[in-house]
Structure 1
Amino acid sequence: MVPKLEIFGERINSTRPSVAEALEERDRVFLQKEALDQVSAGANVIDVHTGTFWHKEPEYVVWAIEAIQEVVDVPIAVDSLNPGVLATGLQACRKKEEAIANSITLDKERVEEVLPLVREYSCKVVALTIDQEGRIPETAKGRLEIAQKLVAEVDRYGIPRHRLYLDALGMPIGVDTGQGLVVLESLKLMKAAFPDVKTIISTTAVSYGLPNRRLIHRSFLPMLLAFGLDAVVLDPLDKELMATVIACEALLDRDEFCQKYVRAHREGKLA
């Protein structure tokens, strides 16, 4: 049986005005409800992003992680472009070996600051297929070449490959309609080259700028899963999207005897 899909709940993100307000006002009740609702809906990882407040990001990420860990017992993904914030956030995680550093690129400074932490804590790491100049290749072959270099860096630090997530980076199809196909081909190439490495993608970015964005997410996800996606960053409170996840897992041998599907039907989650 193929391992079930890992779902990173994306809602605790300071780009959302309600989350930004909760962080500034130290609204523990609001933040904890967001965490509880996401886990109840099926998230098995909570992604925490406080980067909108760059000057207070380390302070806010620690407060948010501590608040979340009071009410849910799932891994935390510390989501930041700042290696120092990743270090601070990982330190705040109770179960460091289950935590995820999100993320590195081929940027030398980020690699040299983050991967030693990953090795020290025996945690996991998300690697974006972005080169050292901050560029995202337009082709699947180009993203595979960066993935190869990222895997080599992880190997160099002695980090087991199963702790690595490669992000194929879904770009807005409203800007380039070929990007959906690029992501699918990137997944195919990465899974063939590195079967022991996990793949991850956010469904949100691909729909940026388009109307009825949730329809795009629900349509794209089955394709991603068929191409071997291991983890996804999404809004678990989108009930139709989560119903799609449950149906896809049954179809792709990720749900033994369709038990999860039947249980979800009985609980009214597929309506």
Structure 2
Amino acid sequence: MEKLSYSNALKRAFSMLKSQNKFPEDAQYLMEELSGFNYTQLQLHRNEEVPNDIMHKFRDGLLRLGMDEPVQYILGYAYFMNRNFSVNENVLIPRNDTEEMVQQIIDDHPKKNLSICDIGTGSGIIAITLGIEFPEDDILATDISKEALQVAQLNADNYQTNNVFFKQSDLFKKIDPQKFDVVVSNPPYIAEDEKKDMDQSVIKFEPDLALYGKDNGLEFYENITQQIDNYLSDDGILYMEFGFRQKNAIKAIFRDNLPNYVVEFHKDISGNYRYLKAKKEM
């Protein structure tokens, strides 16, 4: 194997990815994660040879980046709220928008123990983050995908969140009748006709089951709002993430299905409405 310095390895990688119309910054991120160096440290070590084991993984990763595979799947993990979570093609890669919703839940949490339900947990990031923050809470996390739940359980075992329990269920179908203080969901909300606007890495590699919703991406908002009254305590709160074009349609769904609920819509750091907080009018 040809010996290359960090600097030359990255120059070649940038050139290769640019020629394929891919993102050169993915190569930078891949090298930082594989080497354990941050950006500044890589600059300091730029003239050193890349060790063989790292170079081998880096070259393999570049080929996969060239085929549009997300760098998080190549590494096998992604970061969410400064924690490391295992991910693979059976679960969505965590997004910043979800961090903002979870931070809102943390900020709203009263000084008492709560029962929480996470619908469509995927890799378990929401449930596990809340389980770490509030170790006395009881948290049930569900997903229709058995493969996603295997990833979630791996992450829960890694963080030893003994207060988070997983159940395979299509929305509320397999959940015993009970009332939760918080129900949270980041459901599939992308409409099929929005595929044309999406990145190839998402279309090719992230799971359709976790991405797309029928009825212009609104299917799960209809279904959850029709059933939530059976599962939310009188002073409980429902949190849901949604697409940046969906606020008005979701507002109408709540008006029709839950007219006695007050709904707050919250913007992300880009100024788009991206999640909601709903509770019964008291």
Q: TM-score range by the shorter chain?
A: 0.3 to 0.5
TM-score (norm 1): 0.33
The structure with the greater share of residues assigned to strand is 2
State TM-score, norm by structure 2.
0.32
**Higher-helix-fraction structure:** 1
Based on CA coordinates, which of the two structures has the bigger radius of gyration? 2
